[in-house]
Structure 1
Amino acid sequence: MGHREDLLEGAERCLLRKGFARTTARDIVKESGTNLASIGYHYGSKDALLAQAYVSLVERMGDAFDGGGGEALPGEPGSLERFRAVWSNIIGTMREPGSIWRLSMEIVVMGDQLPEVRDHLARAQREAGRGLVPLLMGGREDDVPDETADTLGMFYVTLMTGLIAQWTFDPKTAPGADQLAEGLRQVIEGVTKS
């Protein structure tokens, strides 16, 4: 493994232990066994490296969204049963001790102080939405058009961001998948009456 990969893995470990704000370039160097110059050479800055490390952690978390076991998700694509199953899996990742989702809240709160991280992650949101669409609606991520990523995908990202905030703030009162599915059912019922 080269310095680039070592830095990324070291930054991931630092993020999980210390978060964005408290992780220093020296922490990453110590954790990765590299040197300070490597950060600038491979990533441009400490913040860009931390942003990439966060995206890498989230991408690996995506396997848990579909259950991670390789089995097919229950329910037909687009059904309330599928919606409930996917959100149940996502919420399961929020319940884990040391959940990476707390880092998301740190970004929201400190966004102005971490502009390079915020900008990098803002660009990644569209792709996050593009990844959620096939889980819930079926199909392949590569086939999700930009318009769908920018509408339905962003709807799912917005729902996820709200869930992260609620689960970070007060897990005892945060909604579960059954509550979300029932809320969606009520929305559908309301708009179809009009």
Structure 2
Amino acid sequence: MGHKEDLLEGAKKCLVEKGFVRTTARDIVGASGTNLASIGYHYGSKDALLTQAFIALMQQWGETAFQDGMPGADGSLERLRALWEGVLAQHDTSAPVWAASMEVALSGERLPQLRGMLAASQAEGRRGLISLLTGTPEEELTERDERTLGSVCQALLNGLMIQWLLDPGTAASAEEFTEGLRRIAEGLTAAAGGSAGRPLEQTR
């Protein structure tokens, strides 16, 4: 690997071990066997490098969690439950990454550049979640899809992971989480006078 790839691997290691805030440029250099000048040359800044490392870790998480595909019909409760099962199956390895992202989210204005970079990467995460749930290719999704179904899926994912970060012993299982969502959807459908059991659909 070249310095660019070495830096990314080193940043991923530091992110898992120390999080965003405590990781210094020298930490990344030490973990990657490169030099300080390489960070600016290849990524522009330490924060930009850490953001790329975070995105790479999340992509690896998704590929590992769902490498065997997703069971159930597109948009079905079975598919929804499989999504949460895949998420929770990787909890031990993904927890440090989620904790690091929460660290940035709660940093206030102390890390404005890093917060901005991570916020900009959210759209990619939303598209990935929609695609996993509905079976729709990411390139076919619209901005409206991202801001509606994508935002809700992302909020649910973040909330579930916070439960597990705080107390895995009392956090909801995939089955319990899915059942809770089913009951909410059932109540909303009944209130609207629709038919129960309607599969999840994209909002166009």
* Percent identity of equivalent pairs: 50
Find the counterpart in structure 1 of residue 131 from structure 2. 134
Structure-2 change in CA distance of 1:97 and 1:12 (3 Å): closer
**Amino acid of the structure 2 residue aligned with 1:176:** S
Find the counterpart in structure 2 of residue 147 from structure 1. 144
Asked if the contact 2:39–2:45 (Cα under 8 Å) also holds between the matched residues in 1, the reply is yes
Q: Could you state the TM-score of these two structures normalised by the residue count of structure 1?
A: 0.92
Count of equivalent residues? 191
Find the counterpart in structure 1 of residue 101 from structure 2. 104
Counterpart Cα distance in 1 of 2:2 and 2:63:
26
Find the counterpart in structure 1 of residue 160 from structure 2. 163
**Structure 2 counterpart SS, 1:113:** coil
- Extract unaligned runs of 5+ from structure 2: 192-204
Asked if the contact 1:73–1:85 (Cα under 8 Å) also holds between the matched residues in 2, the reply is yes
**Amino acid of the structure 2 residue aligned with 1:58:** M
Find the counterpart in structure 1 of residue 176 from structure 2. 179
Q: Could you state the TM-score of these two structures normalised by the residue count of structure 2?
A: 0.88
Superposed CA deviations along residues 74-95 of structure 1, whole A, max 9, x for unmatched, are: 2111111110011111122224
Find the counterpart in structure 1 of residue 42 from structure 2. 42
Structure-2 change in CA distance of 1:97 and 1:152 (3 Å): closer
Counterpart Cα distance in 2 of 1:53 and 1:97:
13
Structure-2 change in CA distance of 1:97 and 1:45 (3 Å): closer
Asked if the contact 1:7–1:28 (Cα under 8 Å) also holds between the matched residues in 2, the reply is yes
**Structure 2 counterpart SS, 1:110:** coil
Asked if the contact 2:17–2:96 (Cα under 8 Å) also holds between the matched residues in 1, the reply is no
| Cα displacement (A) at 1:22 | 1.4
Asked if the contact 1:47–1:114 (Cα under 8 Å) also holds between the matched residues in 2, the reply is no
